[in-house]
Chains A and B, each alone.
Chain A
């Protein structure tokens, strides 16, 4: 079951997913780097898969190439979703 995506719900979902992956919740801000959050490239692929499952947005591993911060990841997802 997928839900029509908007920026707020995608941001909330990404934040919850990163916390579920083990990132410290208080540290998850748009400026936070994945290095500081101890989120690696494997986690980012899983994040893309989770977004696909939940929202039907086809985020591929290459869409996350060069992504360093939470904000950049959100931008990549928004871009793919066309919002």
Chain B
């Protein structure tokens, strides 16, 4: 159901290669061509893909008041845009630059439209200028939205790192750190730092690492635990690793990982009992 006066499809069909060349030139002129991040050949391919998809979609699309970008005829265009955005975002291209990449397509298309309409319409240059200003406004708004959102994500990330390794002074001279989730190198480092400074701060003699909440224990995690235990010992405190469930015990042994010189306990309770014994505290009922 091609609309009879589908100027976009017509224009694109009449001079596809010319528009593509014009667009690539416009990208370079408007600073959307990040040759440091995206190669010229790749930009050319992405531009060609998008323009091809656009030409195809516009043939069947409604462009007047009934325009709906969610309509299935635009599927290919949206897909291509997503691919381009993904590959560019990964390389660090900013939202504005991606926006300009797309909007710079206007210039060559408008030029052809104008030559078709003829010189009798004087206002077309003004329209172009105004439209460019509005484009910039929308791009800037999107850019600042993304920046704000990134700031939120960054803050949440740092908060998560903090809460992921809270060292608790559970008793006089006993500190404990409950670990939950996965233990990657970065977190392991944070845990070690927090634990060691807590030992200094509270003059702790026993440090309990509770790994009940650690989902998987592999060789890497075991390595981190060993390092932490060794560092704790060097500081002059004793390290107890507790929360060694039957499953974890099996995994550790099957992996062939050894935990030499490390005191381990099945759960936090027995770890705490051990710690009390070490510092010479007796608790009623035990």
| Chain A partners chain B | no
Interface residue ranges, A against B (CB under 8 Å)? none
